Chains A and B, each alone.
Chain A
Amino acid sequence: MDYTFQFAELLPYTSLIVDGLLWTVALTLITTFLGCLLGTLGAAARAGQHKFLKHAVGIYVELIRNTPFIVQLFFIFFGLPSIGIKLNAWEAGLLAMVINLGAYSTEIIRAGIEATPKGQLEAARTLGLSRVQTFIRVVLPPALQKIYPALTSQCIIVMLGSAVLSQISVQELTFAANFIQSRNFLSFEVYLVVALLYLLLAILMRQLFKAVHYYAFPNLRARK
């Protein structure tokens, strides 16, 4: 092996990488928030009484979970303009990510809801809580607690999946890497640095989720 590593060649592109990093972080944060919200609503519909909603959400979940993310993305970006819905690159990318996370988190949160003992539900209803109150106060908190690790992982997967957005010219981290690689052909250096940045992001994200968990579920703190 007589390859000379040229990491210094990446320095002129620092601002491009930082911009890419910020795009990835911003897209991930918005997606995590909106996607989990969508997933909660979806799970509520799946567990609820409304037949039509239940089936509609079921179809949505199956459709998204059984098709590749890149196909969904291309459909939104390249396909929808044909019927008059034109989103620019980052809008299309964000929408695809939210829809994707929404579907997966629906299933994850639904699992948590189903694991809640029926007796708690009946107790809440007997105490006079409305359906919505029961869901928000009695069903959801323990459900979220149970599936929190799975949800964390799913959000990280979506963050890593945002790399695909480079295909529709969103200038996130992978786009920056591809761009630099197309200019100086230093594949090893570029992709190694970017891979480490993704790793760092994933670790930070897990810590952030832990912090949220700490404040969101004070009841679990005492046990430690």
Chain B
Amino acid sequence: MPHLFKKVAQWLSLFCLCFSTLHVSANQLDDIAQRGVLVVAVPQDFPPFGSVGPDLQPMGYDIDVARYLAESLELKLELVPVTSANRIPYLQTRKVDLVISSMGKNPEREKVVDFSRAYAPFFLGVFGESAADVKAAADLAGKTLGVTRGSVEDLELSKLAPESAVIQRFEDNNTTISAYLSGQVDLIATGNLVAAKIAEKNGNRELTSKFVIKNSPCFIGVRKGETELLAKVNELVTAGLTSDTLDGLSMKWFKAELPADLK
């Protein structure tokens, strides 16, 4: 019996060895260049970052960013649809080179993944007409503001807003949006994605970002320790931010320019 265990262990270790040596060379950037294909994990259930289009092809901001990176590197692009739960395992098990999947940064993730600089906006903010002169929570004095009851923006603004601000709390996001579109409130607090959806679907009342309540931008995930690849990604993201390429994508998918703090 111990003999059998030994044998199995031997085979297993050999098996593992095969897999781990298959891809590993000096660094992943060279690997990718050799292969000629950039494999990127993208979301397909989270518009406008990533969803499935009418032609059954993935589409969204993340997909376009992946496309931009592949084009800049003169590589073919292979998209791998992932969920928010499996995107990091895909990266760790070398199934993908990059995770461009609306991923936010937190200490747990930083232990297992290296993050690029921020490439996409993701924030809770106060939105309203461009004419409304509101730049900070203090400017909410005397204004009516719609929020969804119990949401993070509700809890934050309840602390930040001055006494004279009227916070009207609604049952869910849609009711809050209705309250804004019907003119029942001057401003609303919500996420930039919700705001993008409103801007896309309803032209009755414009909606621009006034100030940010909570910022949690998205980062590109790179396997831990792949410094060359990370440096290259950072370089390209910076180039994309300065050349307005990403701004264009932001206008296309979020219906708003990228916030200044991202650039």
**A interface with B by C-beta (< 8 Å):** 74, 77-79, 81-82, 86, 88-89, 166-169, 175, 178-179, 181-183
Residues of A within 8 A of B171 (CB): 166-167, 178
* B150, B155, B169: the one within 8 Å of A169 (CB): B169
Taken together as a complex, chains A and B put the C-alpha atoms of A181 and B154 apart, in Å, by 13
Contact A182 B149 (CB under 8 A): yes
Residues of A within 8 A of B149 (CB): 178-179, 182
Q: Chain A: which residue is nearest B170 at the CB level?
A: A169
> Which residues of B (174-189) have their CB < 8 Å from a CB of A?
175, 178-179, 182-184
Q: Chain A: which residue is nearest B176 at the CB level?
A: A169
Q: Chain A: which residue is nearest B149 at the CB level?
A: A182
Residues of A within 8 A of B154 (CB): 182
Q: Which 6 pairs from chain A and chain B are nearest by CB? A: A182-B150, A169-B168, A81-B182, A78-B178, A78-B182, A81-B183
Given contact pairs A89-B168, A167-B171, A183-B150, A82 touches B182 in the complex (Cβ within 8 A): yes
Given contact pairs A179-B149, A182-B154, A183-B150, A167 touches B183 in the complex (Cβ within 8 A): no
* B155, B170, B184: the one within 8 Å of A167 (CB): B170
Write the nearest CB–CB distance from A160 to chain B, whole angstroms. 18
Can you list 12 residue pairs at the A/B interface with Cβ under 8 Å? A78-B179, A89-B168, A166-B171, A167-B170, A167-B175, A168-B170, A169-B170, A169-B179, A178-B149, A179-B149, A182-B154, A183-B155
Write the nearest CB–CB distance from A142 to chain B, whole angstroms. 45
Write the nearest CB–CB distance from B164 to chain A, whole angstroms. 16
Residues of B within 8 A of A81 (CB): 182-184
Write the nearest CB–CB distance from A120 to chain B, whole angstroms. 50
Residues of A within 8 A of B170 (CB): 167-169
Taken together as a complex, chains A and B put the C-alpha atoms of A89 and B178 apart, in Å, by 13
Q: Chain A: which residue is nearest B155 at the CB level?
A: A183
* B150, B155, B169, B184: the one within 8 Å of A77 (CB): B184
Residues of B within 8 A of A77 (CB): 182, 184
Contact A79 B182 (CB under 8 A): yes
Q: A78-B184, A179-B149 are in contact. List 20 more A-B contacts (CB 8 A).
A: A74-B178, A77-B182, A77-B184, A78-B178, A79-B182, A86-B182, A89-B168, A89-B184, A166-B171, A167-B170, A167-B171, A168-B170, A168-B175, A168-B179, A169-B170, A169-B179, A175-B169, A181-B150, A182-B150, A183-B150
Contact A86 B183 (CB under 8 A): yes
Residue-wise, chain B 99-132 has the 8 Å CB interface mask toward A (1 for contact) of: 0000000000000000000000000000000000
Residue-wise, chain B 133-168 has the 8 Å CB interface mask toward A (1 for contact) of: 000000000000010011000110000000000001
Write the nearest CB–CB distance from A154 to chain B, whole angstroms. 26
Taken together as a complex, chains A and B put the C-alpha atoms of A31 and B188 apart, in Å, by 31
Taken together as a complex, chains A and B put the C-alpha atoms of A166 and B169 apart, in Å, by 9
Q: Chain A: which residue is nearest B204 at the CB level?
A: A82
Residues of B within 8 A of A74 (CB): 178
Taken together as a complex, chains A and B put the C-alpha atoms of A77 and B170 apart, in Å, by 13
Write the nearest CB–CB distance from A119 to chain B, whole angstroms. 54
Taken together as a complex, chains A and B put the C-alpha atoms of A81 and B184 apart, in Å, by 8
Write the nearest CB–CB distance from A165 to chain B, whole angstroms. 12
Taken together as a complex, chains A and B put the C-alpha atoms of A175 and B182 apart, in Å, by 21
Residues of A within 8 A of B184 (CB): 77-78, 81, 86, 88-89
Residues of A within 8 A of B168 (CB): 89, 169
